[in-house]
Amino acid sequence: MLVNIHPFGDGNGRTARLLMNYIQLYHNEILIKIFTENRVEYIDKLNETEEKENLEIFREFIVSQQIKFIKEEIEKHKKLNKGFMLMF
């Protein structure tokens, strides 16, 4: 994993997430947002995935971040449309 190899002095995590988002765009998938409050868990899941050699650990974390993002976007949409109605 690029994050664990640390080929650069700075920006390894950002580079890895950029590459992950590129792959998602290529496959027409929703981009992943790693929430700031979940950053420690993100690092923990990366380490646990490597230690146990089990990609499912990281996949489950990523899916949880996708679900969280989609739920937040739905809530934003609901708030934007709240109280607004066109009457013809």
* Residue 62 is assigned to a structural domain of this protein: yes
Residues 6+ positions from 46 with CB-CB distance below 8 Å: 1, 3, 4, 58
pTM across the whole model = 0.73
Is 53 among the domain residues?
A: yes
Residue 17 lies in a domain: yes
Assess whether pLDDT exceeds 60 at residue 2.
no
Q: Choose between 17 and 60: higher pLDDT.
A: 60
Q: Is the pLDDT of residue 81 over 90?
A: no
pLDDT, position 45: 96
Helix (H) / strand (E) element for 27: namely none
Domain containing residue 76: 2-81
**Residue type, position 61, single letter:** F
What mean pLDDT do residues 5-26 have? Answer: 82
The answer as to whether 86 is a domain residue is: no
Is residue 33 in a domain? yes
Domain count of the chain?
Answer: 1
Whether 87 maps to a domain, the answer reads: no
